[in-house]
Structure 1
Amino acid sequence: MDHPDDSPVCLGTVSGWLGPGASVPPLPALNDEEGPRLPEGLPPVVDSHVHLFPDGVFEAVWRWFDQYGWPIRYKLHTPQVVSFLLSRGVHRVVALHYAHKPGMARFLNSYIAEVARAEPRVWGLATVLPGEEGAADILAEAFAAGLKGVKLHCHVQCFAPDAPALHEVYAACARAGRPLVMHAGREPASPQYKCDVHALCSAERVERVLKEHPTLKLCVPHLGADEFDAYERLLERYDNLWLDTTMAAANYFPMPVPRRLLEVRPERILYGTDFPNLPYAWDRELKQLLALKLGDEVEAGILGQNSLRLFGGC
Structure 2
Amino acid sequence: MPLPALQDEEGPRLPEGLPPVVDAHVHLFPDRVFEAVWRWFDQYGWPIRYKLHTPQVLSFLLARGVSRVVALHYSHRPGMARMLNAYVAEVARAEPRVLGLATVLPGEEGATRILEEAFAAGLRGVKLHCHVQCFSPDAPELHEIYAACAKAGRPLVMHAGREPASPQYACDPYRICGVERVERVLKDHPTLKLCVPHLGADEFDAYARLLERYDTLWLDTTMMVTGYFPVPLPRGALQVRPERVLYGTDFPNIPYAWDRELKTLLGLKLGDDVLAGVLGQNALRLYGE
Give yes or no for TM over 0.5: yes
For residue 138 of structure 2, what is the aligned residue in structure 1?
Answer: 162
Q: Is the 8 A contact 2:204 2:236 kept in 1?
A: no
Which sections of structure 1, spanning at least 5 residues, go unmatched? 1-24
Deviation, 1:40, is: 0.2
Alignment partner of 2:224 out of 234, 248, 254: 248
Q: Is the 8 A contact 2:127 2:158 kept in 1?
A: yes
Q: Does 1:188 align with 2:153?
A: no
For 1:118-197, what aligned pairs fall within 5 Å after superposition?
118-197=94-173
For 1:72-111, what aligned pairs fall within 5 Å after superposition?
72-111=48-87
Which sections of structure 2, spanning at least 5 residues, go unmatched? none
Aligned with 1:210: secondary structure? helix
Cα distance in structure 2, aligned partners of 1:255 and 1:312: 33
Q: Is the 8 A contact 2:158 2:194 kept in 1?
A: yes
Alignment partner of 1:203 out of 165, 179, 196: 179
Q: Does 1:52 align with 2:63?
A: no
Deviation, 1:260, is: 2.2
The range that moved more, 171-180 or 257-266, is 257-266
The range that moved more, 44-53 or 58-67, is 58-67
For residue 12 of structure 1, what is the aligned residue in structure 2?
Answer: none
Deviation, 1:256, is: 1.2
Deviation, 1:312, is: 2.9
Alignment partner of 1:70 out of 40, 46, 69: 46
Q: Does 1:225 align with 2:198?
A: no
Cα distance in structure 2, aligned partners of 1:103 and 1:27: 32
> After the TM superposition, which parts of structure 1 deviate over 3 Å for at least 4 consecutive aligned residues?
none
Deviation, 1:261, is: 2.0
Cα distance in structure 2, aligned partners of 1:99 and 1:146: 19
Residue type of the alignment partner of 2:210? L
Report Cα offsets for 1:85-131 as digits up to 9, x if no partner.
00000010000000000000000000000000000000000000001
Q: Is the 8 A contact 2:72 2:100 kept in 1?
A: yes
* TM-score, structure 2 normalization: 0.99
Aligned with 1:219: secondary structure? strand
Cα distance in structure 2, aligned partners of 1:237 and 1:81: 36
Deviation, 1:274, is: 0.1
Alignment partner of 2:249 out of 267, 273, 279: 273
Cα distance in structure 2, aligned partners of 1:197 and 1:255: 18
Aligned with 1:165: secondary structure? helix
Aligned with 1:106: secondary structure? helix
Alignment partner of 1:295 out of 242, 247, 271: 271
Cα distance in structure 2, aligned partners of 1:252 and 1:295: 24
* TM-score, structure 1 normalization: 0.91
Deviation, 1:263, is: 1.5
Q: Is the 8 A contact 2:28 2:54 kept in 1?
A: yes
Aligned with 1:26: secondary structure? coil
Residue type of the alignment partner of 1:291? G
Deviation, 1:232, is: 1.0
For residue 13 of structure 1, what is the aligned residue in structure 2?
Answer: none
Aligned with 2:140: secondary structure? coil
Q: Percent identity?
A: 83
Residue type of the alignment partner of 2:225? A
Aligned with 1:95: secondary structure? strand
Aligned with 1:175: secondary structure? helix
For residue 10 of structure 1, what is the aligned residue in structure 2?
Answer: none
Cα distance in structure 1, aligned partners of 2:237 and 2:197: 13
Cα distance in structure 2, aligned partners of 1:121 and 1:246: 20
